[in-house]
Amino acid sequence: MRRFSWFNVTSLTLGFAFLYLPMIILVVYSFNSSRLVTVWAGFSTKWYGELLQNEDFLQAAWVTIKVAFFASSIATVLGTMAAYVLVRGGRFHGRTLFSGMIYAPLVMPEVITGLSLLLLFIGIGLDRGILTVILAHTTFAMCYVSVVVSSRLISFDRSLEEAALDLGCSPFEAFRLVTLPIIAPAVISGWLLAFTLSLDDLVIASFTTGPGATTLPIKVFSAVRLGVSPEINALSTIMIGIVTIGVITTSLISKRSAIKQAREERAADRST
């Protein structure tokens, strides 16, 4: 077994400290009884209670969840369709332009994307609100879904589809019954990635939002400009806890699935 050298241990320690020490400090000071976030005055959970009574933060959180859910769902459908066309569509007129339009949001600065969408909504006379934020998030999230699904479709064994077609399935039935279940992990990963990007977005949402459609990142950014309050620490701690639980749960499910699959493969090998 290869041992870690002092250089590797030091590098890992400094790297993890740089990444996670600020989060640990934030979590600790979320239980500070003092309103001054840099002065420890004792343990208290009162800021969590005040956060749950803050209607502005709760409303912003609900708007963010709604926007993220609908935007990621629409982006997953459109991104999967775009990936299927790019991988299975072969050569067609305008393919280069189509692929460029799909991948452009990946490299386009968010300020440019947000400003262009703002000008579009103003030009067509669409009032800014939850709908415009959903459309904006769908626009830049679908390209990430397309990339994830395309990578899975490229390695997909097309003989499975051909077998389904030979057995009497229509192309749509072959996609629904054969292709989609196999690429489902990639589709789900794309949805989760789009959901996360929508939750985290600040720049594009700030250009396309309107009255009554303030998302949580915008609300937190506006509040931080006036000074960091303990309620923001409490909110950040809750979000860190939710993400941690989600990551641990996903890891356990993946580990159990891998163990179950390994057992089934061993049982199949023994039976043969």
Enclosing domain of residue 115: 25-233
**pLDDT computed for residue 119 by the predictor:** 92
CB atoms within 10 A of CB 244: 11
Within-domain flag for 10: no
Ordered mean pLDDT values, 10 residues apiece, the chain (272 residues): 73 88 85 78 83 85 91 93 83 80 85 90 88 92 91 83 82 83 87 89 89 85 78 84 81 78 74 66
Count of domains observed in the chain: 1
Within-domain flag for 9: no
Within-domain flag for 94: yes
Within-domain flag for 102: yes
Rounded Cα–Cα distance for residues 39 and 30 (Å): 12
**pLDDT computed for residue 272 by the predictor:** 63
Within-domain flag for 11: no
* CATH number of the structural domain spanning residue 88: 1.10.3720.10
Its pTM stands at 0.81
213 within 8 A of 201, measured Cβ to Cβ:
no
Within-domain flag for 138: yes
Buried/exposed 60-88: b ≥16 CB within 10 Å, e otherwise: bbebbeebbebbbebbbebbbebbbbbbe
Rounded Cα–Cα distance for residues 270 and 209 (Å): 60
* Bridge partners, 43 (sequence order): 32
**pLDDT computed for residue 153 by the predictor:** 86
